[in-house]
């Protein structure tokens, strides 16, 4: 019997949603940015940060034009995670100890991957739905756009500043941070504000990873209890 409901949109139409096109532009901007990250740090910083700002644009477009899609959500998160991961890898080549940045990379990917998977297991539609969490900081982070924006921007700004102020490829991270913070300048203030927001986001990442892991464990326990 023929389906009398609304016809399914073609796959191409979803790929060409306006927010998804913005996502493709972000990827292109990042590709160009990382291609010049060592030869032209200023251009890299401008392109990378502009791509990061477009993250808010694609979300606005999705709501404005009613073009919210699962593909768009995945594209958005993958672009965010890969972009930050690439920048952390570059910083691990510039600063010592490099393990500090590789550890941040691992925490970022692990916490977000677990959060996405636990969202799927819980039957939720968004990984930002954390109303049932017992952590006030976790709920504040995902419940307040301004607070989450501050933390996310702080992370990216901190990493960009660290790349800009590195003078050689064997910098000691703590020495550079101490020297920059002890100078009375707009850069030192921006660096301090960024470190504070960055710190909060790392705490949230740890909470997110633990909360998501608990959801996975509880899912296993409930599955085994079923007859």
3-state secondary structure of 96: strand
Question: What's the chain's Rg over C-alpha atoms?
Answer: 20
Structure-token pair, residue 195:
């470190």
- The one catalytic residue in 58, 80, 179, 220 is 80
80 is catalytic: yes
CB 212 within 8 A of CB 118: yes
Structure-token pair, residue 25:
């532009």
Whole-angstrom Cα distance, residue 164 to residue 149? 22
Q: Give me the phi and psi of 96, to 5 degrees please.
A: -125, 135
Q: Give me the phi and psi of 95, to 5 degrees please.
A: -110, 155
3-state secondary structure of 124: coil
3-state secondary structure of 172: strand
Q: H-type helices in 9-168, by residue range?
A: 11-15, 18-35, 41-64, 70-94, 99-122, 136-143, 145-165
Query: Which are the catalytic amino acids?
Result: 80
């Amino acid at each position: 019997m023929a389906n009398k409901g609304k016809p399914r949109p073609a796959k191409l139409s979803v790929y060409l949603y306006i927010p998804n096109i913005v996502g493709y532009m972000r990827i292109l901007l990042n590709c160009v940015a990382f291609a010049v990250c060592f030869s032209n740090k200023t251009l890299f910083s401008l392109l990378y940060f502009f791509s990061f700002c477009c993250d808010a644009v694609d979300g606005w477009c999705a709501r404005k034009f009613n073009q919210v899609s699962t593909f768009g959500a995945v594209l958005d998160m993958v672009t965010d995670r890969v972009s930050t991961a690439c920048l952390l890898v570059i910083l691990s080549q510039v600063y010592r100890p490099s393990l500090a940045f590789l550890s941040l990379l691992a925490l970022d990917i692990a916490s977000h991957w677990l959060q996405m998977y636990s969202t799927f297991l819980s039957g939720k539609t968004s990984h930002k739905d954390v109303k049932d969490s017992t952590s006030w900081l976790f709920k504040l982070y995902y419940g307040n756009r301004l607070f989450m924006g501050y933390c996310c921007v702080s992370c990216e700004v901190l990493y960009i500043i660290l790349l800009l102020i590195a003078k050689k490829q064997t910098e000691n991270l703590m020495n550079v941070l101490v020297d920059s913070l002890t100078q009375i300048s707009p850069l030192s203030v921006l660096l301090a504000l960024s470190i504070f927001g960055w710190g909060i986001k790392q705490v949230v990442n740890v909470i997110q990873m633990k909360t998501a892991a608990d959801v996975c464990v509880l899912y296993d326990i409930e599955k085994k209890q079923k007859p």
